[in-house]
Chains A and B, each alone.
Chain A
Amino acid sequence: MPLLLHDLVPLHWAVSGAALAAITLALLFVANRRLGISGGLDDLCSVVLSSPYFQRPFVRSSRPWRIPFLAGLVLGGFLSAVLAGGWSPLWSLGPFDDIIGLAPSGKLSWMFLGGLLIGFGTRLANGCTSGHGIFGMSNFEWPSLVSTTAFMVAGIVTTNIVYRVIFHA
């Protein structure tokens, strides 16, 4: 199955997993930082929102590393597109276009709704695929195993409802 980006063949799963592990370990070993990406949503919110939750020391002290790391994620995606054959705005969404097929405004609303759940959910769970899934599980943290199980099961149920029940191909 090709990627949506330039129909690329993806990297081997073991290579990808090893690379993510190496970066996670480098972040701790060199910079003494625990990998966690959804915490960056707090950091970005803390720039404009002044409630005590956003202004707590944990958030303020993580801004100097997490905001450059998040900027790097955008840059990494950009470089990946440029090196694969050029950057251009992309609207295609694979099975979504084939089976659900909403117009651009519907697609944006769908993404916005999903984004709300991601933002609220990851902050309530205190972590996402990186902080719970990779770091927390690797560090044998019980809450991370519980949360990872919860979001994997919820994703499996939702996608099966969307693609096998509601929008039946």
Chain B
Amino acid sequence: MTILYLALGTAFGFVLSRSGAADYSYIQAMFLFDNLQLYGIIGAAVVLTAPGLWWIQRRGRTLLGAPVQVERKAMNRGTVVGGVLFGIGWSITGMCPGPILVNIGEGKVYALAALAGALIGAGLFGTLYSRLQSFFRLPTVQRS
């Protein structure tokens, strides 16, 4: 299965690279409403993914017969505050998490700094989790 995940990731990365979704100019043009390419992409992706997800979950089994499990995301104060922080970071770097990695693959040197920041930011969040939990009403961490 590792090869399958690698192949799906490669295809995803290739499309992000060639579509403009991993391109600083396109991200800024989207946020300035100068170019609507990226709105078209996410709109098309959602419109086409939605019926597929409905069908897969109605069928209830994967291709190999396993019960389909989709864990739905929970709402809390982090949903909005985290989204806002991420949106500011997306605008600053011109990259969301996938495109950081795609840009590194393309050879865009500055994306390495964005990755370092993202890993440290995530590391900080996880390390401070117990202190952030009550304010943002985050779920309790499950122990193994």
Q: How far is the CA of A55 from the CA of B141 in the complex (A)?
A: 9
Find chain A residues with CB under 8 A from B98 CB.
Answer: 37, 73, 128-130
Q: How far is the CA of A22 from the CA of B144 in the complex (A)?
A: 34
A30 & B114 in contact (Cβ 8 Å cutoff): no
A88 & B101 in contact (Cβ 8 Å cutoff): no
Q: How far is the CA of A10 from the CA of B12 in the complex (A)?
A: 15
The smallest beta-carbon distance between B83 and chain A, in angstroms, is 3
A52 & B116 in contact (Cβ 8 Å cutoff): no
The smallest beta-carbon distance between A133 and chain B, in angstroms, is 6
Q: How far is the CA of A155 from the CA of B89 in the complex (A)?
A: 8
Interface centre among B37, B96, B106 (most CB of A within 10 A): B106
The smallest beta-carbon distance between B111 and chain A, in angstroms, is 7
In this complex, how many residues of chain B approach chain A with their Cβ under 8 Å: the count is 119
Find chain B residues with CB under 8 A from A33 CB.
Answer: 5
Contact pick for A114, options B29, B68, B92, B125, CB 8 Å: B92
Find chain A residues with CB under 8 A from B28 CB.
Answer: 94-95, 159, 163
Contact pick for B111, options A54, A111, A150, A153, CB 8 Å: A111
Find chain A residues with CB under 8 A from B18 CB.
Answer: 3, 8, 10-11, 16, 80
The smallest beta-carbon distance between A84 and chain B, in angstroms, is 8
Chain B residue with Cβ nearest A94: B25
Q: How far is the CA of A51 from the CA of B127 in the complex (A)?
A: 6
Q: How far is the CA of A156 from the CA of B11 in the complex (A)?
A: 28
Q: How far is the CA of A141 from the CA of B48 in the complex (A)?
A: 16
The smallest beta-carbon distance between B25 and chain A, in angstroms, is 4
Known interface pairs A29-B62, A75-B6, A154-B86; A143-B113 also in contact (CB < 8 Å): no
The smallest beta-carbon distance between B43 and chain A, in angstroms, is 7
Interface residues of A in 100-118 (CB under 8 A from B): 107-118
B19 & A11 in contact (Cβ 8 Å cutoff): yes
Chain B residue with Cβ nearest A126: B73
Q: How far is the CA of A156 from the CA of B33 in the complex (A)?
A: 9
Known interface pairs A24-B49, A117-B92, A119-B119; A81-B106 also in contact (CB < 8 Å): yes
A81 & B5 in contact (Cβ 8 Å cutoff): no
Known interface pairs A56-B142, A58-B142; A152-B74 also in contact (CB < 8 Å): no
The 3 closest A-B pairs by CB, nearest first: A72-B9, A115-B117, A76-B13
Instruction: List residues of chain B with CB under 8 Å of any chain A CB.
Output: 1-33, 35-38, 40-50, 52-53, 56, 62-64, 66, 68-75, 78-98, 100-111, 113-127, 129-130, 132, 136, 141-144
